[in-house]
Structures are given as structure tokens and as C-alpha cells.
Amino acid sequence: MPPAADRPPRAAAIAPGLVVLRRYERGWLPIDVVAGLTVGAMLIPQSMAYAELAGLPPVSGFHAVIGALVVYALVGTSRHLGVGPEPGTAILAATGVGAIAAGDPERYVALMALLALVVAGICMVAAAARLGFLASLLSKPVLVGYITGVGLTLLSSQIAGFTGAQIAAGSFFPRIAELGRELGEVHGPTLALGLATLALMEGLRRISPRVPGALIGVVASTVAVAALGLADEGIALVGAIPGGLPAPALPPLALADITRLLPVAAGIALVGYTDNVLTARSVAARHGYRIDPNQELVALALTNAASGLSQGFPVSSSASRTAVPAALGSKTQLVSIVAAACVVGTVLAFRPLLAEIPRAALAAVIVAAGITIIDLPGYRSLWKVSREEACLAVVAALGVLVFDVLVGVLIAVSLSIVIALYHVARPHDAVLGDAPGLDGWVDLDADHGAVAEPGLLVYRFDAPLYFLNIDRFAERVEQVLGENPGEEEWLVLDFEGVGALDASALDGLVDLVARVARRDVAVVGVARANDAVLASLRRADVIEPKGALQVFPTINSAVRAYRSRHAG
């Protein structure tokens, strides 16, 4: 066996959190324990509320979070990420599983656990294929729109629990319409309790964000209901919570069910992973450590596996449960282990009290989460920068609201891909000139006083050349040549922004050079091309001596060659 000194790199690759914990310093313990207890206090009401949001008994939230917290503490690369039930993931899971379970409660619970395992499988395959870059599929406008749509969906999903009215509709606009028709059925005491709990939580969030406002709000509402006897007035309570902790077990595995769950699981994996990485990176950047995106795929896989084996449901992360320990100054993933112990202690010691929690209070927890994630500042920021992107954010939000969360995810991903393809197909380009006092050639349209070299056209295309844009590239080159016909003797293509070429681009480049030659352009050259591009050009016999293209290391070297030959 190799000596212990040779093992840390392997351990770091498999369980980076464990490596951090092995180097634990005693002085960190008080801060980490306080942060862990705070996160645990947040998790107790949130886990119950988000389980109900997923259509499950409140105890399923505890089943989902306990193992996930411990597993992430060992295999995750963030020291602060708050994993566990999250409203967007919960409602996305409920949308997919509800259509398959067909009203059977036992089958619904089993399918939720199976869905978590399918999500785990997808994430593990993605990690093996090193697909961590997929987090970039959701651009900012799409993320803003998607999360806003989820927030509004959360608000509408709690109309029944918050008001006591019987709402049967399953999507945003029908729910709002049904509420308008059922206003007379609103239960006054339930609505008053929900509003009071929400006001208390929102007030605490604004005054002291580090305080577990959700726990305080739920405890206060529970005490009020018990003291005033409001259960006799029709206030619904959570009811009996099963005792003990679940033993790890596989849910029933049926190939037909797994196949039907795959689209939902893929959406949850993409959204959950994107949320995890963005949240973890933002906190890590402020605290001086790095996140491994591919290892985060492994961590998401294993946390969902832990949840599925514990009869839970898919989990991801919470921005609020991440921000609080970071703000308290926590140092390591021990916070997650302490939070898990806090949840276990609560389930074992205070189970009878959990049964007395009013459902309106849990609805208020979800409404508070929905209000928090509606990203109005994001829309304002997008509107200032790009009104087109702001409109795309609106479309993404409407996709979630009009259809459902899964379709909204697909619309969001499709929009991201279309936007990316558009920018590749229609990138920025420029004719370059020499600007006095500047080192290098710059865009003639920029305000630098640049002047074109007579008889020499220098053209830059700011994207890799692919089948998507080679026609655009050729069209633009011929267009700028045609704007000053008969004067250009040389054409120099600045390939600094052309990081790669495909076979279609190489064919198109050969055709372009031939057409340009018929315009009496004596020399066509490329400048500042990288080694990979030059290798492709050589293999395709595009550059001299086999082809017509001349190669220059820089624009200035091309200009010197042009001036020298022109003077001669």
C-alpha cells in the first residue's frame, strides 16, 4: 500500500469535503456549530413545506435532507452550499410524477424516490462524460425568466393552503381565475394566520437576515393556534408524523417508469446543477476557494441517491441556506453535518409538536420563498443592458406559467441554445485601420481616429468559423470589398477571433478565396491565426504553397509585406 502522503490527491478527487474536514482546526468549531444549528433551524420548516409542495407528506422532507447533507459534506467542493429540498426542484418533480402516478398515493411516494435515483444516474453519467460545461446552457435572461416563472408558480400553488379555498387548477393562470370565482370560499382565520406568519417572516428577513425567520414564524403560528384554539375554527394542521428514521431501501424499479421519468429527471438535473454551481461559485469567490464543476455533478448525483434511498425526493440547493452560514463566517462543510444532526434530533424528540404545525404556516414558508426568488432586479438590469434579452426573460417566464415548469425548462434551454447559435451565426465583425498613437489595428467604426491603408483591406470576424456562419463570413467579406470596388490589392483576414474551423468552413474559405481572386485582389492572407486553425488550413491544402492563402503572424507583419511589395 502506498504511504499516507501519496493518498491525499486520490482522496481529494473522490471526497474533497473529507480532505477539508481532515485538516479541521479546533478554532473553527464554535462558528461552524452555530452556523449548522442555524441552517438546521431553517431546514425544519422548509423541508416540511417543500415536501408538501412536492405533493408528499411533510416527513418526506426530512427523509430527503438528512442523508443529502452528510453526503455533500464529504463529496462536495463548496464549504457553504446548503443542499436539500428546494421549491423549484420540488414543483418540477411534482409536475412530472403527478402525471405518472395517476392518483395513487403509495405509487406517488415510490415514484418520487425513484425520480431522485434517476436524477442521480443522469448526473453521474454527465460527470463521467465531463459535461460540467452544460451549466452554461442557461443564459442570464433565461435564468431570470425561468426563476421568476417558478416564483410566481410557487405563489399560485399555495392559494389553497394560504386561503383555505378549494383550488383544483394545476397552473398559474387557471389558479388565479379559479380564485376569482371562489373568493366567497376563502376561510378568514386561515388567511389571517397565513398573512400574519408571512408578515413576521418577511419582517425578520429584512431586519435580521441571519435569524431563522421561517422557524420563528412557524413556531409562533403553532403557539397561536394552540393558545387560541384555532384548530376548532377550521385551521388545518399537519397531523401525525411517522416516528423513526427510514432505513435505506430501493424503491420499486420498473423500466417503464424509469423511461417515463427520464425527461423530468433531465430537467431537474440541468436546473439543479445550474443552481448549485452558480450559488456555490458566487460564495466561493467571496471566500477565496474554488469550485470544481465536474465534482459538483458527482455531488449532486450522490445527494440525490441518498435522498432516493431514504424515501425522499429530488434535491438541489438553496441560496438562502447557503448565504446564512457564509454570512456567519463558517469555515467548512461541518455546518451540513451539524444541520443534519439538528434535523434528526428534531424528528426524534419533537415529533408530536411537528404534528401541531398549521398548514397555513407551511404555505407561508413557500410563499416567502416564492417572493424571494422573483427576480425583478434582474429584469431591470436586463432592460438597461439589452431590451431584447429582457423580452427573452419574459418569454421564459411565460413558458413556465402558461405550460408547466418542465416545459418552461425546455423552452428556457431552447432559448439559450437559439441565442448562442444566433451570436455564432451573426457575430460582430469589423474593418480595421491604423490608429495613430495606438499599438495595433482597431475597428474603423470605433472612435479612435483609425485610418484604412489604401489598397489594403483588413477584416476581422469575431467568432469561430462553422457551417452556421461561413456563408455570413463570405457575404460580409465580399460586401466590404464591394463597398470600395477596384481599390483593394490585398485582403488580410484577421483570425484572432477565429478559434476553430470545421469542414464546411474550410470549403467555404476555398470558394471565397477563388471568388476574391476574380476581383483582381492579388493577395489574400490570414493573420494572427492560432496553431489549431493553421493545422486545419494546412491539412485542407488552403495555405501556400499548396493553396492560395498566405500566412502572417501579425497584422503589422502583413502590412509591412504589403508596403514593401507595393513600394517595389
Domain ranges of the chain: 4-167+174-420, 429-567
Nearest to 311, CA basis, from 41, 96, 66, 75: 66
CA distance 76 to 82: 11
User: Counting beta carbons within 10 angstroms of the beta carbon of residue 483, is it exposed (0 to 12), middle (13 to 18) or buried (19 or more)?
Assistant: exposed
CA distances from 489 to 104, 458, 520, 545 (A): 77, 11, 7, 20
Q: Is the peptide bond before 545 cis (omega within 30 degrees of 0)?
A: yes
CA distance 399 to 418: 15
CA distance 509 to 81: 49
pLDDT band at residue 485 under the 50/70/90 scheme:
low
Lowest mean pLDDT among 122-126, 473-477, 505-509, 514-518: 514-518
- What's the mean pLDDT in 96-123? 93
Kindly tell me if the per-residue pLDDT of 1 is higher than 50.
no
Kindly tell me if the per-residue pLDDT of 224 is higher than 80.
yes
**pLDDT at 6 (0 to 100):** 39
Kindly tell me if the per-residue pLDDT of 507 is higher than 70.
yes
Q: For 398-441, write each residue's pLDDT tens digit.
A: 988 888 777 777 787 788 788 888 888 999 999 988 887 777 78
CB under 8 Å, gap of 24 or more: what pairs does 21-26 form?
21/73, 21/74, 21/332, 21/333, 21/334, 24/332, 24/334, 25/331
CATH 2.40.160.10 fits 429-567, yes or no: no
pLDDT band at residue 568 under the 50/70/90 scheme:
low
CA distance 57 to 544: 72
Predicted TM-score of the model (pTM): 0.75
Kindly tell me if the per-residue pLDDT of 17 is higher than 80.
yes
CA distance 388 to 414: 16
CA distances from 440 to 100, 451, 554 (A): 62, 12, 9
Nearest to 56, CA basis, from 110, 133, 109: 109
HEC readout, 255-305: HHHHHHHHHHHHHHHHHHHHHHHHHHHHHHHHHCCCCCHHHHHHHHHHHHH
Kindly tell me if the per-residue pLDDT of 10 is higher than 70.
no
Q: For 296-332, write each residue's pLDDT tens digit.
A: 999 999 999 999 999 999 999 988 788 888 888 888 9
DSSP letter assigned to residue 43: H
**pLDDT at 312 (0 to 100):** 94
- Say which residue the cell 489549431 belongs to: 532
- The DSSP element (H or E) to which 82 belongs, if any, is strand 82-84
Q: Taking each helix axis as running N to C, give the angle between helix 503-517 and helix 470-482, from 0 to 180 degrees, rounded to the nearest 10.
A: 20
Q: How many CB atoms sit inside 10 A of residue 148's CB? A: 24
Q: 360 with 52: CB under 8 angstroms?
A: no
State how far Cα 221 lies from the chain centre: 34
- What's the mean pLDDT in 194-209? 90
Kindly tell me if the per-residue pLDDT of 291 is higher than 80.
yes
pLDDT band at residue 221 under the 50/70/90 scheme:
very high
Kindly tell me if the per-residue pLDDT of 260 is higher than 90.
yes
What are the cell numbers at 469? 456562419
CA distance 59 to 242: 7
- What's the mean pLDDT in 32-44? 89
Lowest mean pLDDT among 12-21, 160-169, 309-318, 503-512: 12-21
Kindly tell me if the per-residue pLDDT of 137 is higher than 70.
no
Buried b (16+ CB within 10 A) or exposed e, 365-388: bbbbbbbebbbeebbebbeeeeee
Q: How many CB atoms sit inside 10 A of residue 348's CB? A: 11
pLDDT band at residue 3 under the 50/70/90 scheme:
very low
Mean pLDDT of the chain: 87
Kindly tell me if the per-residue pLDDT of 244 is higher than 60.
yes
- Say which residue the cell 463566517 belongs to: 329
**pLDDT at 190 (0 to 100):** 92
Residue type, 178: E
- What's the mean pLDDT in 342-348? 91
pLDDT band at residue 130 under the 50/70/90 scheme:
confident
State how far Cα 292 lies from the chain centre: 15
Q: What angle do CA 351, 95, 39 make, to 5 degrees?
A: 40
Nearest to 325, CA basis, from 568, 37, 13: 37
CA distance 510 to 242: 73
Residue type, 43: L
CA distances from 236 to 196, 225, 356, 395 (A): 16, 10, 9, 37
What are the cell numbers at 61? 422532507
What are the cell numbers at 72? 455533500
- Say which residue the cell 476557494 belongs to: 289
DSSP letter assigned to residue 392: H
Kindly tell me if the per-residue pLDDT of 542 is higher than 90.
no
Of the chain, the percentage scoring pLDDT greater than 70 comes to: 96
Range from 70-74, 205-209, 453-457 that averages highest in pLDDT: 70-74
Q: For 47-84, write each residue's pLDDT tens digit.
A: 999 999 899 999 999 999 999 999 999 999 999 999 99
**pLDDT at 12 (0 to 100):** 56
- Beta-carbon contacts of 302 under 8 Å, excluding residues fewer than 6 positions away, are 71, 72, 75, 120
CA distances from 65 to 41, 86, 114, 340 (A): 13, 10, 16, 7
Kindly tell me if the per-residue pLDDT of 37 is higher than 80.
yes
Lowest mean pLDDT among 314-323, 358-367, 442-451, 515-524: 442-451
Nearest to 54, CA basis, from 385, 504, 366: 366
pLDDT band at residue 343 under the 50/70/90 scheme:
very high
Nearest to 29, CA basis, from 331, 344, 321, 324: 331
What length does the chain have? 568
- Say which residue the cell 453535518 belongs to: 337
Q: What angle do CA 97, 99, 101 make, to 5 degrees?
A: 65
